[in-house]
Amino acid sequence: MDCGFHAREWISHAFCQWFVNEAVTAYGSDSQMTSLLDQMDVFVLPVFNVDGYVFTHTNNRMWRKTRSRNAGSSCLGTDPNRNFNAGWCTTGASTNPCSETYCGTAPESEIESKNLADFIRKNKSIIKAYITIHSYSQLLLFPYSYTYELAADHDELMAVAKGASSALRSLYGTVYTSGPGAPTIYPAAGGSDDWAYDLGVKYSYTFELRDEGQYGFLLPESQIKPTCEETMLAVKYIAAHVQKNLY
């Protein structure tokens, strides 16, 4: 599970920290978390886009991309979620370095993308699920985003997403929409979830956390705790399904 692909999506970073704290404090008392951790390892990358995240604290709260230099351009950064080798730069991405959705010079041109991809490739035999946390829009997405074609496991992925969304909604009534990326939000090539799925990680999900636009990326501090609490329920639902359906 990773958080903080896009620097300004601060609720994402908060969730990874929340998850780790819950895991280490609830182990032994919460039966679901105990069973999960007894049977599975969870690799958590709390801040994927470190340089971008720092920049949102020091210079520009609304920065999205990485902070890498682009040859021949004064514009910095690549959109890391357009930088994976999944229909790379074919749709919903830009070849202009000044664009918010710049796909980079090649797949994995960004050190952040390459390191994550290398880690998943190296551990592919034991990685059964990939969850990437973004904001905002209240969506639970799965492949594909680079094409409108349905994934081979579409029916199962949709059923699990709907179950997870229902678990999330049970706490505070927050409504999520589930579906494949392209028709549900917009077509976008080069995403990490599509790439992981095509590599063979069947349970590949993208969360778009609160809210639906009232505050957007500037979600108030008062919503951090409820957002993390409800999202935990969805992540645990997905994990429980993976536990029972190893492949």
pLDDT value of position 243: 95
User: What residues contact residue 49 under an 8 Å CB cut-off, 6+ apart?
Assistant: 4, 5, 6, 7, 65, 66, 80, 112
- Whether cis (ω within 30° of 0) applies to the bond prior to 102 is no
* 123-175 pLDDT, tens digit each: 999 999 999 999 999 999 999 999 999 999 999 999 999 999 999 999 999 99
* Mean pLDDT computed over 20-33: 96
**SS3 at position 45:** strand
Identity of residue 224 = I
The whole-number pLDDT of residue 190 equals 98
pLDDT value at residue 139: 98
Average pLDDT over all residues of the chain: 98
Token look-up 């809210």 returns 211
Q: Phi first, then psi: give them for residue 230, nearest 5 degrees.
A: -70, -35
**Tens digit of each residue's pLDDT (9 = 90 or more) over 42-57:** 999 999 999 999 999 9
Q: From the centroid of its chain, how far is CA 28?
A: 28
- Note the pLDDT of residue 104: 98
Residue 100: count of CB within 10 angstroms of its CB: 14
Q: Report residue 31's pLDDT band, with 50, 70 and 90 as the boundaries.
A: very high
Percentage of residues in the chain having pLDDT higher than 90: 100
pLDDT at 155: 98
**Predicted pLDDT at 179:** 98
Q: What is the pLDDT of residues 188-238, one digit of tens each?
A: 999 999 999 999 999 999 999 999 999 999 999 999 999 999 999 999 999
**Among 235, 184, 227, CA closest to 209:** 227
Say if residue 30 is preceded by a cis peptide, omega within 30 of 0. no
How confident is the model at residue 93, as a pLDDT? Answer: 98
Residue 24 banded pLDDT, cuts 50, 70, 90: very high
Which one, of 98, 13, 87, 23, lies nearest residue 50 by Cα? 13
For β-strands 129-135 and 203-209, DSSP reports them as parallel
- Centre a 10 Å sphere on the Cβ of residue 151 and count the other Cβ atoms it contains: 19
- Pick from 133, 102, 93, 108: nearest CA to 230: 133
| pTM higher than the cut 0.85 | yes
Domains parsed from the chain with CATH numbers: 2-244 (3.40.630.10)
DSSP alpha helix (H) spans, 79-222: 111-122, 154-172, 181-184, 192-199
Residues that are catalytic: 208
Q: What is the 3-state secondary structure (H, E, C) of 118-156?
A: HHHHHCCCCCCEEEEEEECCCEEEECCCCCCCCCCCHHH
